[in-house]
Amino acid sequence: MSGERHFPEGFLWGCATAAHHVEGGNHNCDWWEFEKRGGILTGDSADPACDQYRRFREDFALLRRLHNNAHRLSVEWSRIEPSAGEFDRAQIEHYRQVLLELRDQGMAPMVTLHHFTSPRWFAKRGGWAASGAHEAWLPFVRRVAEELGDLVAFWCTLNEPNIYAYQGWLAGEFPPGRKGDIRGFYSVLANMRRGHEAAYGELVRLTPAVPVGIAQHKWLMLPADPARRRDRFAAASAQFFMDRWPAGARWQRVVEAPCDYLGLNHYSGSLVAFSLRRAGEGFANRFNPPGLPVSDFDWAVEPRWLRVCLEQLRPLGKPLYVTENGIAAIDDRRRVRFIRDVLGHLWLAIQDGVDVRGYFHFSSHDNFEWARGYSMHFGLIGVDLKTQERTVKPSGWEYSQIAQANALAAEE
Ligand code: BGC
C-alpha cells in the first residue's frame, strides 16, 4: 500500500510486563507485605492477578497470534532466592519453561532482573537503602545468568530506579512506604547504580552474547512559560533529579551507565512553574499542560513526547528500545488512537536517524497496577478477574496488524 510507514527489518514488537503485574501468588516479596499492611489504595490483591504463573503458555500463544516477536518480562527474585543464599530449583525450572515457551513461540525474551519487587529477607535488611544492598543482589543475578542465560535475548538489569526510589522513599506509594526520606532516596539510587554496574560486569562475563541494558523512565519536565527564566530553572532542576543518580561526588545521568543498549520507559510529562511556596519540592509546581487530554491516571497524553525523549538519547550512540509505553484507559478507543499516534512519532524519530530497534507496549494484559490495583487498564487484552477469561481488545488487534506488517498504514 502506498504511503505505508515501514519500520526497519527485524524491528521488535512486543509487550512489557513484570512478574508482580501478572503472575499472582508472589507471597514472598515486599509488595505482598505492603499489600497486607493496606498499602494498595484500592484494597485489591496481587493474587491471583492474571494468574500468568500458571497460564503463561496460553498467554504467550495469544501474543504470538497478535504477531508479537518479542516479550519483556521479569523473573521474580523472591521466588528464585526465597532466603538469602538459598536458591529454589523448582522456581528456576519454572522460569526455564517460561523462557523456552517464549522461544518456541518465536518471541525474543527481554528479561528484567529487578522490577520493583524484592524478597522479604532483603527488604527486612533495609532493601536497596541498606549499605551493601548491591552485593546482596548479585548472587541472584549470577544464578539467573548461569541457569537461564542461554534462553535470554536481552538483559534489563533494573527497571526505573528513579521511579522506584521516589515512590518508595519520598512519596510512600511503594514499599517500604517512606515519605520524605531524602537520605533513603539517595542511598537507594546510589546502591542501584552500584548494583547495575556490578550486574553489567557479571552479565557480560557470564553471557557475553546477550546485550545488557537498563530501563530508565523519562518523565518530561517542561517550563510552564519558556520565556520565564525561573520556570526554565525549576523545570531543569526537576528534570535533573528525575534523570540522575549519585556516582561518587556527582549526579550522573542514569542513561550514561555502562550498557549495550538503552531502554526507554515513557508515558508522560508535566509543565513546571517556579513557586516559592514549593520549597520542599525544589520550588517546582508541576501540573498538566492545559488543553491536553489526560489518561485515567491523570497523566497528560501527548504522543509527540516519545520522539522528544528518543531524540534526547540519540547522542549517546547506543541502540534504543522503547521498553515501556502505553496509556491507562478504560475506553479502549483511546488506546487505538494512542497507538497509531505514538508509533507515528516513533517512526518519525527513526526517519530522523535515531537507532530505535524495538517497541514494547505496556502492557499485554490488564493487570495489577501496583498501589492502584486493578483500577488502571493498560492492557491490549482484557482479563475477567473472576473467570480469568482473556479478551483481545480492538487495540490488541490494531497493534497486531502493525506488528505483522512491520508498518503503519498511510495517515488518514
Ligand atoms: C512501571 C510499570 C508500571 C507503569 C505504569 C512504570 O513506571 O515500570 O511497572 O505499571 O509505569 O504505571
Burial of 317 per CB tally in 10 Å (0-12, 13-18, 19+): exposed
Is residue 281 domain-resident? no
In this predicted structure, what is the pLDDT of residue 183?
Answer: 97
CA 331 – CA 256 distance, rounded (Å): 38
Spatial distance between the Cα atoms of 50 and 33, rounded to a whole number of angstroms: 19
Which residue bears the cell 504470538? 64
Q: Is residue 299 part of a domain?
A: yes
Task: Over range 283-300, report the average pLDDT.
Answer: 97
The chain-wide mean pLDDT, for the chain, equals 98
Mutate to test the pocket of ligand 1, among 324, 367, 374, 375 (most ligand atoms within 8 A of CB): 324
Whether the CB of 265 sits within 6 Å of ligand 1: yes
Does position 260 have pLDDT exceeding 90, yes or no?
yes
In this structure, the residue with its CA closest to atom 3 of ligand 1 is 369
Q: Which residues, in sequence order, are CB contacts of 292 under 8 Å at separation 6+?
A: 300, 301, 302
On whether residue 321 sits in a domain, the answer given is yes
Looking at residues 277-302, what average pLDDT do you find?
95
- CA atoms within 13 A of residue 69's CA, in its CB half-sphere: 14
pLDDT at 412 over 80: no
Q: Is residue 117 part of a domain?
A: yes
**DSSP states of 45-111 as a string?**
-TTTTT-HHHHHHHHHHHHHHTT--EEEEE--HHHH-SBTTB--HHHHHHHHHHHHHHHHTT-EEEE
Residue 327's alpha-carbon distances to 154, 323, 334, 395, in angstroms, are 25, 14, 8, 11
From residue 157, give the alpha-carbon distance in Å to each of 42, 114, 119, 385, 404.
30, 6, 16, 31, 29
**Residue 18 is part of which domain span?**
5-221+229-269+290-408
Give the residue-averaged pLDDT of 28-32. Answer: 98
Task: Using the mean position of ligand 1's atoms as its centre, give its distance from the Cα of residue 4 in Å.
Answer: 31
Q: What are the distances in angstroms from CA 155 to CA 109, 125, 145, 224? A: 9, 26, 9, 37
Residue nearest ligand 1's atom 12 by CA: 369
State how many domains the chain has: 1
Report yes or no on 279 lying in a domain. Answer: no
Report the SS3 class of residue 232: helix
Residue 53 lies in a domain: yes
Check pLDDT > 80 for residue 315.
yes
Report how far ligand 1's centroid is from the alpha carbon of 228 (Å): 32
Tell me the per-residue pLDDT of 370-380, one tens digit each, with 9 for 90 and over.
Answer: 999 999 999 99
Tell me if 160 CB under 6 Å of ligand 1.
yes
Instruction: Read off the CATH number of the domain in which 392 is found.
Output: 3.20.20.80
Q: Is 299 in the pocket of ligand 1 (CB under 6 A)?
A: no
Residue 274, domain member (yes or no)? no
Please give the DSSP secondary-structure letter assigned to residue 257.
S
Mean of the pLDDT values across residues 205-209?
A: 98
pLDDT at 1: 53
Measured distance CA(365)–CA(344) in Å, rounded: 23
280 within some domain: no
Q: Which pLDDT belongs to residue 184?
A: 98
State the pLDDT confidence band at 411, using cuts at 50, 70 and 90. confident
pLDDT classification of 279: cutoffs 50, 70, 90 = confident
* Distance, CA of 187 to CA of 189 (rounded, Å): 5
